[in-house]
């Protein structure tokens, strides 16, 4: 960890944070792997927390809202959905230069790459696949009003607004020619399906946004709630399909090749289990899969934009821009199959 009297952490002044928390001294480190909001591990030597703050620079409108993340994990704490305990929210930008919140540090590891999941037997991989689907189903079965989230979003017209929103984000991050992306955007906008009953949705649900314990594999916490809202549950399922199927290439950066390990369910098996568990009609899922590829392409293009303008923190960002167009190709293919 980095002592606040040593070199400063990018995006986090440990001295000012220590003063705000009324502790003598803090150590901290940037937690690698995040591609958007910045996540740090901090400790005063007795207690340990995880801190979340927005990225440095080029924050798109409505994105990276710390209060939304804090509110949703606070609300879901008493439910079956595994989330970290929310400790405090600070919206005073004078403390570290941006709003932030603190949550408990949970046990477990995100499985982003195949080597991180190499300990799984085929039976354990099946168990974990099922748990991943069941946690999503548990989330979608939470009554928003019962947990104080009835006003957490505007479900009517949700998917049409999502297409428009991510199209706008694309325009705000566009710095190069991206063949096919406007065709995909227009095709999605002209074929928006009717949504099922609105639920609380995560907005970026995938295996590596979960912490997993070894032994009997179990999801101990779902992380990264920055895109959560009330909306169409099939948006979560379609995006999970995208993260599971990926680009079907060697060293796939979307999946980390984890789902190719023995025992993991296929993407179609995940859809079938979700449908069986929730009773949701998935006949229009192809549209949501196409939208998932479009959304992920826009996200990677935004990261590419921030990288080219020197506004990213961490390693690996320089490689992500090359995957925008392959995602567009997959999205176009999925849109034609619906």
Alpha carbons 12 and 20: distance in angstroms, whole number: 13
| Per-residue pLDDT, 60 | 47
Residues 235-270 pLDDT 10s? 999 999 999 999 988 888 899 999 999 999 999 999
pLDDT on residue 222:
98
Res. 6: pLDDT tops 50? no
Name the residue ranges covered by the structural domains of the chain: 2-104, 114-337
Contact 209, 110 (CB under 8 A): yes
Q: Which has the closest alpha carbon to 243: 198, 279, 277, 288?
A: 288
Q: Which CATH architecture has domain 2-104?
A: 2-Layer Sandwich (3.30)
Burial 193-217 (b: 16+ CB within 10 A, else e): bebbebbbbbbbbbbbbbbbeeeeb
pLDDT at 338 over 70: no
The mean pLDDT value for 114-131 works out to 96
Whether residue 317 has pLDDT greater than 80: no
Confidence category of residue 336, pLDDT binned at 50, 70, 90? confident
Instruction: Kindly tell me if the per-residue pLDDT of 59 is higher than 70.
Output: no
What's the confidence (pLDDT) of residue 315? 62
Return the pLDDT at 270: 98
pLDDT at 111: 95
Confidence check: pLDDT of 62 > 60: no
Read off the pLDDT of each residue in 301-322 and give the average, rounded to a whole number: 75
Average pLDDT over residues 32-55: 87
> Rounded distance, CA 231 to CA 143, Å?
13
CATH number for the domain whose boundaries are 114-337: 3.90.1200.10
């Amino acid at each position: 960890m980095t002592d606040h009297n040593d070199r400063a952490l990018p995006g986090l002044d440990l001295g000012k944070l220590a003063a705000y928390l009324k502790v003598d001294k803090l150590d901290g480190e940037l937690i690698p792997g995040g591609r958007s909001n910045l996540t740090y591990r901090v400790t005063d030597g007795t207690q340990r927390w995880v801190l979340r703050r927005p990225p440095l620079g080029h924050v798109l409108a409505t994105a990276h809202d710390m209060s939304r993340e804090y509110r949703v994990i606070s609300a879901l704490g008493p439910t079956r959905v595994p989330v970290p305990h929310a400790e405090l929210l600070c919206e005073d930008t004078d403390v570290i230069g941006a709003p932030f919140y603190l949550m408990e540090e949970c046990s477990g590891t995100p499985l982003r790459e195949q080597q991180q999941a190499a300990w799984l037997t085929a039976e354990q991989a099946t168990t974990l696949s099922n748990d991943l689907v069941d946690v999503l189903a548990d989330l979608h079965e939470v009554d928003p009003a019962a947990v104080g989230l009835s006003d957490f979003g505007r479900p009517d017209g949700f998917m049409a607004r999502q297409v428009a929103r991510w199209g706008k984000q694309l325009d705000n991050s566009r710095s190069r020619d991206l063949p096919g992306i406007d065709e995909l955007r227009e095709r999605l906008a002209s074929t928006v399906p009717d949504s099922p009953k609105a639920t609380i949705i995560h907005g970026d649900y995938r295996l590596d946004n979960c912490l997993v314990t070894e032994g009997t594999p179990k999801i101990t916490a779902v992380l990264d709630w920055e895109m959560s809202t009330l909306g169409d549950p099939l948006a979560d399922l379609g995006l999970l399909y995208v993260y599971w199927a990926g680009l079907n290439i060697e060293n796939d950066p979307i999946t980390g090749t984890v789902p190719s390990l023995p025992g993991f369910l296929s993407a179609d098996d995940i859809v079938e289990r979700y449908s069986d568990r929730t009773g949701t009609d998935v006949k229009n899922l192809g549209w949501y899969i196409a939208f998932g590829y479009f959304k992920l392409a826009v996200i990677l293009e935004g990261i590419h934009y921030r990288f080219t303008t020197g506004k990213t923190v961490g390693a690996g960002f320089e490689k992500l821009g090359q995957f925008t167009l392959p995602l567009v190709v997959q999205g176009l293919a999925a849109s034609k199959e619906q």
